[in-house]
Amino acid sequence: MLTAQQISAMVEENRQEALAFFTQCVRTPSVTGDEAAMGEVLRGFLAQQGFAPQVVEKQPGRPNIVAEWKGEKPGPRFVWNGHMDVFPPVKGKPGLYGPWAGKLADGCLYGRGSVDMKGGVCAAIMATALLKRMGFSPAGSVLMTWVSDEENTGELGTKYLLEQGLIQGDFGIDPEPTRGRVLVSHCGGLNVKVTYRSPSGHSSIPHPDGVDALEKTVNAAAALMQLGRRVSHFDEELGAWSKLSVTMVESGNTVNMYPSEGHLVIDRRLVPGETLEECHSQIRQVLDELRASHPQQDYSYEYEVLGEYPCLVVDEAAPIVRMCLEAYREVTGRETSVYRRGGASDASDIVEKAGLPMPNFGAGDDLKECTHENEKMPVEDYLTFIKVYMCLMVKALS
């Protein structure tokens, strides 16, 4: 079995290639909704390494890159999942070098997405490619899934691949930034749009129904805000809030007409122990009670789910968690730990729908750097995680 020392030597020998690949990816803009160029970079690199990647799209121009490396012996399937899309640059704040600079300075690679999460994606791809070059043959296989649309809850990315049965396996890693720790739990969330309708009419005379769409929307927003106060609580272990907020209210298009439509948007954050089904039920109950309390008026509503993701819950005793801790220790000589936080990742959908344990585990600061105009990944952390991922796959698939 390959040793950590052999793996480390291989990464150091290919240091410049690893940095060049990472730099190319950071220099390729891939704001959510515009991932095509980044998808082509990954597809081309994986093809060069002999992985026969496929491009899978639910919507044209929104690619998901899927490739599987099969070994000569039967065994489990290890799944990589990470996203290509990044937050847009901070308006009016280009940072020290610009959002797509891919600039090496002060021991770091600067650029949008370097931490969230092109560093993790590139480290995982390099780790897989270098193991293949070293002659390692997995007992089982390695499935790589690099997706679009994660920052928009993944309807066109991970969720679509799951619907198509293209993400299945025994265990895996989402290489999101975790400061070298193993993330076993994070928040979930959902966004819902509620629409009320009514006849329009001139505001110089009473409304024909006695209440227009705007008033219905305002009353519903007030009732939902009361629900938000009831369900809001802080989860000490996770360090995050369970919370419901009405974040948008919209109605009307002229000053002297009753609006015919009113819309509100709800942002609901979940902590482990809460389910998406329960949260939808709470919201609908409030809206249904409002409708029942106004029998003379039509408080019918339309309920549109804009996006949702469950909480991530991975058993600390799962073998993949133990192997992450061991691989990190063998490569770095230091201990790391499991932890929990707020935020979200596509791993929670994979855990829930494919039934495989998938913690987040990667380099980079998951709290301070991700949306900062000077987002940067320490080069040595990136290279270290190529080694850690190689060691992890050897442990899992030997």
What CATH number is associated with residue 215?
A: 3.30.70.360
Q: Rounded to two decimals, what is the model's pTM?
A: 0.93
125 and 200 in a common domain? no
Burial class (CB in 10 A: 0-12, 13-18, 19+), 302: exposed
| Residue bearing tokens 């220099």 | 27
133 and 79 in a common domain? yes
- What pLDDT score was predicted for residue 222? 98
- Looking at 309, 340, 367, which one is the last position of a domain? 309
- What pLDDT score was predicted for residue 204? 92
Q: What residues form DSSP beta bridges with 183?
A: 339, 360
Share of the chain above pLDDT 70, in %: 100
Q: Which amino acid is at 175?
A: P
366 and 273 in a common domain? no
Q: Could you give the C-alpha distances from 72 to 156, 244, 320, 348, 377, in angstroms and in order?
A: 33, 51, 22, 31, 36
Can you give the residue range of the structural domain that contains 341?
4-186+311-397
Q: What are phi and psi of 55, to 5 degrees?
A: -105, 120
296 and 317 in a common domain? no
Categorise residue 52: left if φ over 0, alpha if ψ from -120 to 50, beta otherwise. Answer: left
58 and 182 in a common domain? yes
User: Total domain count for the chain?
Assistant: 2
Rounded to the nearest integer, the mean pLDDT of the chain is 96
pLDDT tens column, 238-287: 999 999 999 999 999 999 999 999 999 999 999 999 999 999 999 999 99
- What pLDDT score was predicted for residue 31? 97
The DSSP call for residue 150 is: G
Query: Which of 71, 314, 22, 276 lies closest to 183 in space, CA to CA?
Result: 314
- What pLDDT score was predicted for residue 268? 97
In this structure, what token pair is assigned to residue 380? 């040595």
Q: Could you give the C-alpha distances from 138 to 116, 224, 242, 393, in angstroms and in order?
A: 28, 52, 42, 8
**pLDDT-based confidence at 332, cuts 50/70/90?**
very high
80 and 178 in a common domain? yes
Burial class (CB in 10 A: 0-12, 13-18, 19+), 132: middle
357 and 223 in a common domain? no
The DSSP call for residue 31 is: B
- What pLDDT score was predicted for residue 215? 96
Positive or negative: CA dihedral 116, 122, 123, 127: positive
- Considering only 83-87, 183-187, 225-229, 371-375, which range has the smallest mean pLDDT? 371-375
In this structure, what token pair is assigned to residue 268? 């609901």
- What pLDDT score was predicted for residue 90? 83
- Looking at 309, 331, 350, which one is the last position of a domain? 309
Q: What are phi and psi of 245, to 5 degrees?
A: -135, 140
- What pLDDT score was predicted for residue 9? 98
What is the Cα–Cα distance from 388 to 130, expressed in whole angstroms?
12
Answer yes or no: are the C-beta atoms of 25 and 41 closer than 8 Å: yes
**pLDDT-based confidence at 119, cuts 50/70/90?**
very high
What is the Cα–Cα distance from 345 to 245, expressed in whole angstroms?
21
**pLDDT-based confidence at 209, cuts 50/70/90?**
confident
What is the Cα–Cα distance from 90 to 110, expressed in whole angstroms?
14
197 and 168 in a common domain? no
- Looking at 259, 289, 309, which one is the last position of a domain? 309
What's the half-sphere exposure (Cβ side, CA atoms, 13 Å) at 109? 29
- What pLDDT score was predicted for residue 1? 85
Q: Could you give the C-alpha distances from 163 to 55, 155, 157, 159, 167, in angstroms and in order?
A: 16, 10, 10, 6, 9
Q: What is the rounded average pLDDT of the residues 372-393?
A: 97
What is the Cα–Cα distance from 68 to 309, expressed in whole angstroms?
26
Residue 191 has pLDDT above 80, yes or no: yes
328 or 239, greater pLDDT: 328
194 and 158 in a common domain? no
319 and 176 in a common domain? yes
292 and 147 in a common domain? no
- What pLDDT score was predicted for residue 48? 98
366 or 56, greater pLDDT: 56
CATH at residue 349: 3.40.630.10
Residue 366 has pLDDT above 80, yes or no: no
Q: Could you give the C-alpha distances from 210 to 205, 281, 286, in angstroms and in order?
A: 11, 29, 22
| Residue bearing tokens 């990472």 | 22
- What pLDDT score was predicted for residue 372? 85
Q: What is the rounded average pLDDT of the residues 358-366?
A: 94
Residue 369 has pLDDT above 80, yes or no: no
250 and 236 in a common domain? yes
pLDDT tens column, 60-77: 999 999 999 999 999 999
Q: What are phi and psi of 61, to 5 degrees?
A: 85, 0
Q: What is the rounded average pLDDT of the residues 112-116?
A: 96
CB atoms within 10 A of CB 205: 8
